[in-house]
Structure 1
């Protein structure tokens, strides 16, 4: 039993435990090129949350990791078989119910550990922050915590070299040989402003990628995944420790 993971705990252990911060990993269920499992985002969220929480817990953080939400926003992949979509309004309802429990029980800090690029919780947390003024609500994308170029050769953001390396490290039995993977070529918007980053439109996945990947995975290795995993979990652990210790009424300096 790992005391910082709610799913592995029991009522005897939990009922008298003081908790300062809850962590909610949130993934997605979707195709990841030909070679990675549909649960890639969930696997990453589970392992990264657990490893970071272990470091923070052993440093004195009073935290609890909630079970990972396995479905995310996949509105741009509606024609990709069994890519499961939760609308943002559904996410809002789920978050409201979870935050209501935490707020009622005196756990006034929540961090959403996001593991899926299609999830965007900022607007939701703005609305929920008005409903629950005692709560300190935050969200982070673990995949943006470190400069990927320092660890990987090829750019990409889905089933790319980074994600492939991570899953090769975490669950190698779920990765097909890389000679069976697509090259992850992504078609770009014809309108220049979109590539400049100041205009946005949702990507229609079946139009931009033949294999559902964006980013060439062929240079991926388990060794790269191990190095990146260790670095990202250490950085996340520092955040968990700071969040657990901060006073909700003294956030700024």
Structure 2
């Protein structure tokens, strides 16, 4: 069920019977010369709406702009500062609690949002309002991604390219995929952007001239479909697991 498509009288029965909602979040930021700036929010909304359709749980409208100042040098990137993002997401989440929701899954597709969503989850859990957790599609199928790609790339790489080829192929500039690889950073490891134990970069452009990492030529719509279905299965399982938990099992433990 997609909240924004429903008339308010038709939502009453959902809030009476269910207590879980999916909140998709992404970003509007550069994803290299070949992918749309909406890559992350397209992915997040696709997962959340598909999971809602499969499980019957509620999906809210998508938060399209996230914490992305580290991509600001590239044309069109939009962002909000971390404190503003946290306050906004917390307010939206408490709005759901007003209607009777006491557990939320943040269906997130942007790494820059993670720490802020965890903080919001802690805030609403600590005061007993609800239990909210963050889910990222690629973190749910890490082994499968490693099996498929030699260099998956954490941003604008073949895993995101494959998903957008599957979900919104008309937005992919197929003729720029080799340029994405050749103008980005293909080879990297845990020492990239670090010196003597310190992380030395702040912005994506410090490591990659065109904003992306990995070998995008490994991507395909067929692989994107396979990855989408695998991660979606895990999201649906997470929904069912969370819905089955007694609320008291999700609240903070008492002081020892």
Structure 2 equivalent of residue 162 of structure 1: 159
Q: Distance in 2 between matches of 1:68 and 1:7?
A: 10
List alignment gaps of at least 5 residues for structure 2.
252-256
Structure 1 equivalent of residue 254 of structure 2: none
Q: Give TM-score scaled by structure 2 length.
A: 0.86
Structure 2 equivalent of residue 197 of structure 1: none
How many residues align structurally? 238
Task: Single out whichever of 206-215 and 96-105 deviates more from structure 2.
Answer: 96-105
Gap change, CA 1:156 and 1:66, over 3 Å in 2? same
Structure 1 equivalent of residue 108 of structure 2: 114
**CA RMSD for the aligned pairs?**
2.0
Q: C-alpha displacement at 1:69, in angstroms?
A: 0.1
Q: Which residue of 131, 139, 143 maps to 1:144?
A: 139
Runs of 4+ deviating beyond 3 Å: 178-181, 200-203
Q: Distance in 2 between matches of 1:76 and 1:19?
A: 38
Write 1 or 2 for the structure with the bigger share of helix: 2
Q: Which residue of 94, 99, 105 maps to 1:105?
A: 99
Q: C-alpha displacement at 1:128, in angstroms?
A: 3.3
Say if 2:191 is the partner of 1:191: no
Q: Which residue of 180, 183, 186 maps to 1:182?
A: 180
Q: C-alpha displacement at 1:251, in angstroms?
A: 4.3
Structure 2 equivalent of residue 60 of structure 1: none
Report if the CA contact (8 A) 2:26-2:110 is conserved.
yes
Task: Single out whichever of 175-184 and 219-228 deviates more from structure 2.
Answer: 175-184
Gap change, CA 1:190 and 1:33, over 3 Å in 2? same
> Relative contact order: is structure 1 or structure 2 higher (C-alpha 8 Å, sep ≥ 6)?
1
Q: C-alpha displacement at 1:6, in angstroms?
A: 0.9
Post-superposition Cα deviations, 1:73-118, rounded to whole Å, max 9, x if no partner, equal 1121232222111111112211222122222222111111111011
Report if the CA contact (8 A) 1:152-1:224 is conserved.
no
Q: Which residue of 65, 74, 83 maps to 1:89?
A: 83
Task: Single out whichever of 156-165 and 44-53 deviates more from structure 2.
Answer: 44-53
Q: C-alpha displacement at 1:190, in angstroms?
A: 4.2
Q: Which residue of 142, 150, 157 maps to 1:153?
A: 150
Q: Distance in 2 between matches of 1:85 and 1:201?
A: 22
Q: Give TM-score scaled by structure 1 length.
A: 0.87
Structure 1 equivalent of residue 206 of structure 2: 207
Q: C-alpha displacement at 1:152, in angstroms?
A: 2.5
Report if the CA contact (8 A) 1:23-1:110 is conserved.
yes
List alignment gaps of at least 5 residues for structure 1.
58-62, 195-199
Report if the CA contact (8 A) 2:47-2:107 is conserved.
no
